[in-house]
Amino acid sequence: MSPTRLSMSVPHLIAALVTPFTAAGDIDRPSLERLVAYLLQGGIDEFFLVGSTGESPLLDEADRLAIVETARQAAPQARIYAGVSGLGHRHALRNARDVQRAGADVAVLMSPFFVALDQEQLVDYCTRVADGSPLPLAVYHHLRMPTPFAVPTVARLAQHPNIVALKDTNGADANRCAEILAATAGRPFRFLQGVEKLVLPTLEAGGHGCVVAQGCIAPQLFRSLFTAWQAGDLAGARAAQERITALWGIFTRPEVRQSFNHFLHTLKLPLHQRGVLATTGGALPGIRFEPAYEAMITSFMQEHLDGAVTPRTA
Q: Which residues are catalytic?
A: 140, 167
| Gap between the Cα atoms of 68 and 100, Å rounded | 9
- What's 141's DSSP letter? E
- Written in H, E and C, the secondary structure of 203-272 is HHHCCCEEEEHHHCCCHHHHHHHHHHHHCCCHHHHHHHHHHHHHHHHHHHCHHHHCCHHHHHHHHHHHHH
CB 75 within 8 A of CB 40: yes
CA atoms within 13 A on the CB side of 187: 22
* Ordered DSSP codes for 150-182: -HHHHHHHTTSTTEEEEEEE-SS-HHHHHHHHH
Amino acid found at 163: I
How far does the chain reach from its first CA to its final CA, in angstroms? 39
Distances (CA, A) of 256 to 75, 81, 112, 260, 265: 32, 27, 26, 8, 9
**Closest among 3, 1, 12, 7 to 229, alpha carbons compared:** 12
Give the integer Cα–Cα distance in Å for 203 and 191: 10
Question: How many angstroms separate the CA atoms of 250 and 263, rounded?
Answer: 9
